[in-house]
């Protein structure tokens, strides 16, 4: 039965209020921080201090089972928490490696969960992702990092790129080829790698939006055999689907609450248009700008309802109209809409939007940065890839 209100009981409304009260108390002012676009050490320290407060409430692990340091709360409570975090410009997870906990929960052993989930839950251990390689981006199955078994250890050799925030992380989940002779999708495995292991070296890839990503080199990196997560040679199904395939419907990169960081930004642009005069009239009264704002509003609303849909699909276990490719459709939409939104907002605000900050900048220079950040829309695969998957898997067109 169609329902699009998360908090339709007094208990859930009280929960939303509890999250709001917490944020009002715990969030430092002023708050502008996204981990993928900030390298200021003080900002990071404030950010992690905030997250440790979240962890004290055990809200990082809100929905996890109690035996794994969670509170066993419902998915809808997590959804409401995410909505409130995003509405306050806070990411819904400390750093990029949010999938590791889901991966462990689905494919990890009991021992692996006991060992690793606590550090994730209390934000004492941060996890990065080692998936993309210089020669394997959207075509992830073409990766060449190798791992071979040597006694009680795995030995990893290769190179991973675009590791968002990996330099602040202590661990990384790494996809590597364990069967060099098998079909390209069939020979991959996933490993949990402590980044202080000898042979790991990291170089910065500073991105155009003030964040640091990383090139990570693995040179005869030896890790214990028990750090294989999931089944040997099965990582394509177990991890790739976790990145937006049909098994884990509400995971990245389909639309999820994290995507909705667009909402508060767009609300600021709307407010700006109501409060700012140009040529003797409010921007919001300019018929052309109203059309542009309306058009963006359709897109922002679409992202919101797509997130509802992804949540609904994951909960009801009913496939979407386009089956396995449904989350690729929303991902394609988001990936194309994001830079479009940034572009049109800059058109609306006009030439002063290019200033980074200070007295003459508009909206504290937020759009100048947002526009640059919007070129990071490729993370998790390009919109072209998403459309190709939609066309072949969702619409039945030939490959």
Partner 1 sequence: MGIDLTLTEEQELIGRTANEFFEKNCPSSLVREYEATASDYPSELWTKMAELGWLGMPFPEACGGLGLGTLDMYPLLVEMGRHLVPCPYLDTVALAGELICSIGSESQKKTLLPGIAAGEIIVAPAIMEADGSYGPKGIQLQAQHTGSGFELTGAKTLVACAGAAQWLLCAARTDPNPADGISLFLVDPTTSGISMERTPNIAGYPLYAITFDSVSVPADAVVGETGSAWPSLYQAMMKAAVLQSAMVIGAGERVLEMTTNYAQEREQFGQAIGKYQAVQYLCTDIAIHYHQTSLLTLQAAWRIDAGESFLREAALAKASASRAAAAMTFAAHEVHAGVAFISDYDLQLYTRRAKHWEYNLGDLRYHLDRACAESGI
Q: Which residues bind partner 1 (CB under 8 A)?
A: 1-6, 8-9, 12, 76, 79, 270, 273-274, 284, 287, 290-291, 293-295, 297-298, 301-302, 305-306, 308-309, 311-313, 315-316, 318, 321-322, 329-330, 332-333, 384, 387-388, 390-392, 394-399
Nearer to partner 1, 12 or 186 (CB): 12
Q: Residue 36: left (phi > 0), alpha (psi -120 to 50), or beta?
A: alpha
Q: Which is nearer to partner 1, 178 or 306 (CB)?
A: 306
SS3 for 357?
coil
Quick one: which of 260, 396, 271 has its CA closest to 334? 260
Residue 187 to residue 3: CA distance in whole angstroms: 43
Q: Which is nearer to partner 1, 208 or 397 (CB)?
A: 397
Alpha helix (H) residue ranges in 186-325: 235, 262-275, 287-316
Q: With respect to partner 1, which residue has the nearer C-beta, 243 or 329?
A: 329
User: Considering the complex, what minimum distance in angstroms separates the CB of residue 222 from partner 1?
Assistant: 43
The least CB distance from residue 280 to partner 1, in Å, is 18
Q: Least CB distance from residue 292 to partner 1, whole Å?
A: 9
Q: Is the peptide bond before 253 cis (omega within 30 degrees of 0)?
A: yes
Using CA atoms, how far apart are residues 258 and 260, in angstroms rounded to an integer? 5
Work out how close the CB of 73 gets to partner 1 at its nearest, in angstroms, rounded to a whole number. 13
For the bound state, the minimum distance from the C-beta of residue 293 to partner 1, rounded and expressed in Å, comes to 6
Q: Which one, 223 or 341, has the nearer CB to partner 1?
A: 341
Nearer CB in complex with partner 1: 49/384: 384
Q: What is the nearest approach in angstroms of partner 1 to the Cβ of residue 288?
A: 11
In this structure, what is the dihedral angle of CA atoms 350, 355, 358, 360, given to the nearest 10 degrees? -40
Structural contact between residues 39 and 213, judged by C-beta atoms closer than 8 angstroms: no
Whole-angstrom CA distances from 69 to 79, 116, 120, 121, 262 are 19, 10, 10, 7, 31
């Amino acid at each position: 039965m169609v329902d699009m209100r998360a908090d339709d009981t007094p208990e859930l409304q009280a929960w939303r209020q509890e999250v709001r009260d917490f944020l009002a108390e715990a969030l430092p002012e002023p708050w502008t921080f996204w981990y993928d676009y900030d390298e200021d050490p003080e900002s990071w320290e404030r950010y992690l201090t905030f997250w440790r407060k979240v962890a004290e409430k055990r809200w990082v692990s809100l929905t996890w089972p109690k035996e794994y340091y969670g509170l066993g709360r419902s998915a809808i409570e997590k959804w409401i928490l995410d909505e409130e975090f995003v509405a306050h410009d806070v990411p819904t997870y400390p750093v990029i490696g949010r999938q590791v906990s889901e991966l462990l929960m689905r494919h990890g052993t009991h021992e692996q969960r006991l060992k690793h989930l606590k550090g994730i839950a209390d934000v004492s251990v941060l996890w990065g992702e080692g998936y993309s390689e210089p020669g394997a981006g959207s075509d992830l199955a073409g990766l060449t990092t190798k791992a071979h078994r040597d006694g009680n250890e795995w030995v990893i050799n290769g190179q991973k790129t675009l590791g968002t925030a990996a330099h602040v992380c202590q661990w990384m989940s790494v996809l590597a080829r364990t069967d060099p002779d098998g079909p390209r999708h069939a020979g991959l495995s996933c490993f949990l790698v402590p980044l202080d292991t000898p042979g790991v070296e990291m170089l910065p890839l500073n991105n155009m939006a003030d964040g640091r990503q990383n090139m990570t080199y693995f040179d005869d990196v030896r890790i214990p055999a028990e750090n294989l997560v999931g089944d040997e040679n099965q990582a394509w199904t177990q991890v790739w689907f976790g990145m937006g395939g049909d098994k884990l419907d509400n995971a990245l990169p389909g639309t999820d609450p994290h995507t909705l960081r667009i909402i508060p930004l767009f609300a600021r642009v709307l407010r700006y248009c109501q409060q700012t005069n140009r040529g003797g009239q409010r921007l919001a009264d300019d018929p052309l700008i109203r059309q542009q704002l309306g058009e963006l509003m359709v897109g922002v609303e679409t992202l919101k309802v797509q997130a509802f849909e992804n949540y609904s699909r994951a909960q009801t276990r009913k496939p979407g109209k386009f089956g396995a490719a449904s989350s690729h459709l929303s991902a394609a939409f988001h990936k194309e809409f994001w830079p479009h939104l940034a572009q049109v907002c800059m058109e609306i605000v006009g030439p002063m939007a290019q200033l980074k900050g200070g007295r003459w900048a508009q909206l504290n220079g937020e759009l100048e940065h947002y526009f640059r950040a919007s070129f990071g829309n490729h993370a998790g695969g390009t919109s072209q890839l998403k459309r190709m998957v939609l066309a072949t898997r969702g619409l039945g067109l030939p490959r």
